[in-house]
Amino acid sequence: MTDDHDSVYDGLLGEDDSHWAFGTSFEDPLAGVDTTIPDGADPATLATYCLMLGDDALVYSHRLSQWASNAPDLEDDIALANTALDLLGQARLLLARAAAADPSAVPAMPEGSPVPAEDSLAFFRDEPAFRNLRFVEPENGDFAVTIARLLVFSTYRLALLERLASSSDPVLSAIAAKGVKEVAYHRTYAGRWFVTLAQGTPESRRRLEAALPLVWRHHDELFATHPVEADAAAQGVGVDPAGLAGEVGAVLDQVLATAGVERPEVPSAGPVAGGRGRDGRHTEHLSRLLAEMQSVARAHPRGQW
């Protein structure tokens, strides 16, 4: 028994890398995958479309990661970190897919910089180049706001990924098929808490009811088709989000009914000079989020991590 447990001391200096949980050096998340553009698809459209879905996952993952060490109980700390990790994994694959489809989408780095494409995209793009929905940008708020937002987002993303699994791009199709399992769990987690908060105590119900209008302000933007999404759908690689509204609405109505909560009637957040998140026009929250997220990477444009 002693030898068995003492063995964790050993091997730090050994050459066997198989035990390293995340590998010992950067690995392209798409290594070994055929990234040929499918027939009939335009590389720039595919890349921008991947950035849209990748940025949703990246920004939302960042927000959810801010619950680490802050959640109401250890089980929720773990579940929210899991959700953030799943979305971060999706973001990495989607950004890598974008870079492989259209290398010109990747910001230029200084000569000799070892920064991989996914990190150039995440850390060296400026805010207007981010294509995520405004829905995922606001600060977490309390646990009720977080649960309401996660319920709507995961219901939307699950419907989207289920359709994307039949994308004519085999890479996107594989990313979507993997994501479906993850996001289905996120939706279950959020749905369970949503009902619990609605029917728990008067205080939890009050907070949940206060949360709904905040979240629903950006609800309609989920289903507003951007021209790039329309093109991606027409080319067979992407999904037109307008087509998801019925299914997502039905699921949300079912959860709301189980919870005994009314769907909030609030005006939708309007566009900025005609643009929304998918156009690179964001809320005031995103620039602060990016300033923080990108700070260390930008201080070391030739750094290796």
Partner 1 sequence: MTVTDPAPDAAAAELQEQFDAVIARHDRVEPRDWMPEKYRATLVRQIAQHAHSEIIGMQPEGNWITRAPSLRRKATLLAKVQDEAGHGLYLYSAAETLGASRGELTEKLISGKQKYSSIFNYPTLSYADVGTIGWLVDGAAICNQVPLCRTSYGPYGRSMIRICKEESFHQRQGYELLMTMMRGTDEQRAMVQESVDRFWWPALMMFGPPDADSPNTAQSMAWGIKRDTNDDLRQKFVDMSVPQAERLGVTLPDPDLRWNAERGAHDFGQPDWDEFMAVVKGGGPCNAERIAHRKRAHDDGAWVREAASAFAAKGA
Binding stretches for partner 1 (CB under 8 A): 1-2, 5-6, 8-9, 12-13, 19-26, 58, 62, 65-66, 68-78, 81-82, 84-85, 88-89, 91-92, 95, 114-116, 118-119, 122-123, 142-143, 195-197, 199-201, 203-204, 207, 292-293, 295-297, 300, 302-305
Please state, in angstroms and rounded to a whole number, the distance separating the CA atoms of residues 83 and 66. Answer: 12
The smaller minimum CB distance to partner 1, of residues 20 and 267, is found at 20
Nearer to partner 1, 210 or 242 (CB): 210
Residue closer to partner 1 by CB (options 36, 295) is 295
Q: How far is CA 50 from CA 57, 78, 95, 130, in A?
A: 11, 28, 7, 11
Residue 177 Cβ vs partner 1, minimum distance, rounded to whole Å: 20
Closest approach, Cβ 92 to partner 1, in A, equals: 5
The helices-and-strands tally (H runs, E runs) of the chain is 11, 0
In this complex, which beta carbon is closest to partner 1, that of residue 123 or of residue 153?
123
Least separation in angstroms between residue 275's CB and partner 1 is 26
| Cα torsion angle, 119, 121, 245, 267, sign | positive
Among 169, 190, 188, CA closest to 180: 188
Between CA 228 and CA 278 the distance in angstroms is 9
Least distance from partner 1 to the Cβ atom of residue 61, Å: 8
- As a whole number of angstroms, the distance between CA 194 and CA 208 comes to 8
User: Minimum distance from CB of 19 to partner 1 (Å)?
Assistant: 7
